[in-house]
Structure 1
Amino acid sequence: MKHLLRGLLVAGFLAFTPAAYAQDFVAAPIEYSERVPDENAEASVLYQRTLDWTENRFTYKPKEVIRTDATKGEIRVSGTVKVKTASNSGQMQERPVVFEFVFRTLPTGYEYSVGYFRVIPDAKNPTTTVPFEEFVSQLAKERNNERTHNDRRVTAQATSLASEIAMSFRSYMNSRPAAGAIE
């Protein structure tokens, strides 16, 4: 009787336990954006500070200044980072990835974003780019992805790079001298 009761309990638990499904990996756009309240700073000061960062401290090269507009307080710059994929033999291969950094002043501070990631699949032809999500989807369909996990690898790297770029900018903006300080 005890064995029958245990068997029924186990069968009941198994019958009502939801099935575990493997998670399908779906590539989401890589982006980091933030709106920073700063009521004490003038828009022109924030703009000039950001312009200085993009010109002198933006280390993600090659870079291209896409647009600067002092009257609107907007700056748009593209930069390049690298992600690594693994081959069948375990060798790591670097792939250049182009991104955009966008800055805008607001009446009560500023906002910035790091996003619009595009992969350069062929280093010999750097003008041809593929949207990051499409590249990750291609990696996920590769036969050896079960072993290399390249889709997850490059997504994690790109996410980390977006955060790193944003932290670099925010750290620079937070280190500006206080208003009225003597320089």
Structure 2
Amino acid sequence: MKKVLFGLLLSCLVALAPQAHAQDGSTASVSYTESVLAEDAGKEVLYKRALDWMENHFPYGPKTGAKSDAAAGLVRATGTGKVKPVTTAGKELELVIRFDFVFRATDKGYEYSIGSFRLTPDPKKPEETVMLSDYIAQLAAEKGNGKTFNDRRVTAQANALASEAAMNFRSYMNTMPAAEESIVGLPANN
């Protein structure tokens, strides 16, 4: 009797368990967006800090399309990175990828995004780009993708680039110089 109840209980659990789905990459969107509350810092201070990062500390070069607007609190630049799909023989190909970094300061904090990934499929023609999502769909449809998994590989590499850029920027924003931060503790008596 115990074996029958145990079997029935086990079959009910299996029937009611959520289904697992493998990643197919077809709906994968490569981007990173974050909103940060920083009411104490002020719009102008946040804008100047982001502008300094973009002009002096932006590690994703060559940087192009750098724009800023102090009145709107907007900073924008296009960064460059690389992704490495492999051939069916296992040889890595190095392709240039471009992305947009967009920052907007508000009175209550700031928001930023890393997105609009574009890939340069032919290094000899750097001005010709395709949207990363289109390139990934093309990779998924290739005959050898079952062996190389290039669609997942390129998606993961682009997501890692987006996360790294976001972490680099957020880390820089979190380490504001003491002169820009509000006073912590009590002032010293002279």
Q: TM-score, normalised by structure 1?
A: 0.85
Q: Look up the match of 2:187.
A: none
Q: Look up the match of 1:118.
A: 118
Partner Cα distance (2:112, 2:95) in 1: 25
Q: Look up the match of 2:108.
A: 108
Q: Look up the match of 1:175.
A: 175
Following superposition, the deviation at residue 22 of structure 1 comes to: 6.2
1:92 match: secondary structure: coil
Q: Does the CA-based 8 Å contact 1:35-1:111 persist in structure 2?
A: yes
Partner Cα distance (2:15, 2:113) in 1: 43
2:93 match: secondary structure: strand
Q: Look up the match of 1:127.
A: 127
Q: Which amino acid aligns with 2:117?
A: F
Q: Look up the match of 2:61.
A: 61
Q: Look up the match of 2:95.
A: 95
Extract unaligned runs of 5+ from structure 1: 1-5
1:42-61 aligned at under 5 Å gives the runs 42-61=42-61
Partner Cα distance (1:22, 1:31) in 2: 21
Partner Cα distance (1:24, 1:31) in 2: 17
RMSD: 2.3
Change (3 A) 1:62 1:27: farther
Q: Does the CA-based 8 Å contact 1:95-1:121 persist in structure 2?
A: yes
Following superposition, the deviation at residue 176 of structure 1 comes to: 0.5
Q: Look up the match of 2:26.
A: 26
Partner Cα distance (1:30, 1:62) in 2: 20
Extract unaligned runs of 5+ from structure 2: 184-190
Q: TM-score, normalised by structure 2?
A: 0.82
Q: Does the CA-based 8 Å contact 1:76-1:101 persist in structure 2?
A: yes
Following superposition, the deviation at residue 66 of structure 1 comes to: 3.8
Number of residue-to-residue matches in the alignment: 170
Q: Does the CA-based 8 Å contact 2:40-2:182 persist in structure 1?
A: no
Q: Which amino acid aligns with 2:154?
A: V
Q: Which amino acid aligns with 1:131?
A: M
Partner Cα distance (1:94, 1:129) in 2: 15
Q: Does the CA-based 8 Å contact 1:27-1:136 persist in structure 2?
A: no
Partner Cα distance (1:20, 1:81) in 2: 33
Change (3 A) 1:142 1:176: same
1:112 match: secondary structure: strand
Q: Look up the match of 2:79.
A: 79
Following superposition, the deviation at residue 21 of structure 1 comes to: 7.5
Q: Which amino acid aligns with 2:101?
A: F
